[in-house]
Copies of this chain bind each other. A is one copy, B any other.
Amino acid sequence: MSEGAILVVEENDPVLETDFMKEMVKQMRSLDMYDTYEGWSEAKILDPFVMTKERKREMPVIGDPDEIIISRIKAFYNAISTLIEKECKLMAVPLVNLSHEGFGRVIISTGKLIVVDKVLRDVHRFGFKSLSKMKDDADKLLSVALEIIGKYPDVAGM
C-alpha cells in the first residue's frame, strides 16, 4: 500500500463516525511516531485495513509480517481493549504474540479472565473486506468479551 495507491475507503463513509472507528484512528495516530499521518483524513489512515481481493492478489501467499502490519494489528486489538474498558470500567490488556512465520495468538485479559483469544494466520495479509466488516468483527469480539465479563465479574476484577 504505497502513498500513491488508490483508496478504497470513501471520505464520507458513515462507518467512520462510529466509536470504534474513531478509536481506531486515535490508536493509529498514537502509534505514528514520525507524524506520517499529519494532515491525513480518517479514511486515508484506515484505508490499509481494507484488504480487497485485488490487494490480496498483489501480496505474496507466504510472507513475514513487517513492522507496519504488526502496528496495525496492535491498533486493532488496542481499540477493542479500549472499548472493553469503556464498557466495563475494568482495565483490559492486549497481548499480541507473533511467530516469525506469520502465525500468532492475541489475547485480551481483564483481571485473570481471558476475554478475547484469537489465533492469527497469514498475518502479513491482515485486513478486512471492508470497513463495515471490520466494525462487525470488532463488535462481535466486544460483545463476546462483555458477555464473559458479565458472567465472571469476580475473575475479571481480580
Q: Which residues of A contact B (CB under 8 A)?
A: 95-97, 105, 107, 109, 112-115, 117, 148, 152, 154-155
Contact = CB atoms under 8 A, between A and B. Distances in A.
Given A107-B107, A112-B113, A113-B155, 16 more contacts: A95-B95, A95-B97, A95-B107, A96-B97, A97-B97, A109-B114, A109-B117, A112-B114, A112-B115, A112-B148, A113-B113, A113-B114, A114-B114, A152-B154, A152-B155, A155-B155
A158 B88 CA distance: 21
Q: Give chain A's interface secondary structure class.
A: strand
A112 B149 CA distance: 11
Contacts of A114: 109, 112-114
Contacts of A105: 95
A105 B107 CA distance: 12
Nearest 9 A/B pairs, CB to CB: A112-B114, A97-B97, A155-B155, A152-B155, A95-B97, A109-B114, A112-B113, A114-B114, A95-B105
Contacts of A154: 152
